[in-house]
């Protein structure tokens, strides 16, 4: 078991860093926040800013959240978190593939060298 860990330490690091970054992004996206006022130029940005941070957020004096806004906030947050997962999974998959290919190439050259040395 220890030998396998030593052979694949780079994949372990990639997995740990990806999990840490994903956790940080999810916590940041789910953290409660309030916005007072709109500074966006486009209508869709203003509409997104008027949504609650989560479906259970209480209405407050400057923002009233009705049922359609809460439902929209649910789907918006689901899309945000899905995008984080997709990007993190793609990056992790790409990095793992590159590291595996590098190891395979190294193993291939090592096996060729050992065959050449064995033939002489």
Phi then psi for 37, rounded to 5 degrees? 100, 160
- In DSSP terms, 60 is beta-bridged to 63
For the chain, the domain total comes to 1
pLDDT of residue 18: 94
Averaged in consecutive runs of 10 residues, what is the pLDDT profile of the chain (120 residues)? 72 91 91 71 83 85 87 93 95 92 73 64
Domain hosting 115: range is 2-119
Hey, how many other C-beta atoms are within 10 angstroms of the C-beta on 6? Answer: 9
pTM: 0.71
């Amino acid at each position: 078991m220890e030998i396998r860990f030593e052979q694949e330490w780079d994949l372990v690091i990639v997995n740990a860093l990806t999990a840490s970054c994903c956790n940080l992004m999810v916590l940041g996206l789910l953290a409660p926040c309030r916005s007072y006022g709109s500074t966006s130029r486009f209508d869709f940005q203003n509409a997104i800013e008027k949504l609650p941070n989560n479906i259970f957020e209480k209405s407050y004096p400057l923002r009233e959240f009705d049922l359609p806004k809460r439902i929209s906030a649910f789907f918006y947050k689901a899309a945000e978190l899905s995008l984080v997962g997709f990007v993190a999974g793609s990056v992790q998959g790409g990095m793992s593939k590159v590291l595996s290919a590098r190891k395979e190439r190294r193993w291939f050259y090592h096996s060729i060298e050992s065959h050449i040395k064995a033939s002489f």
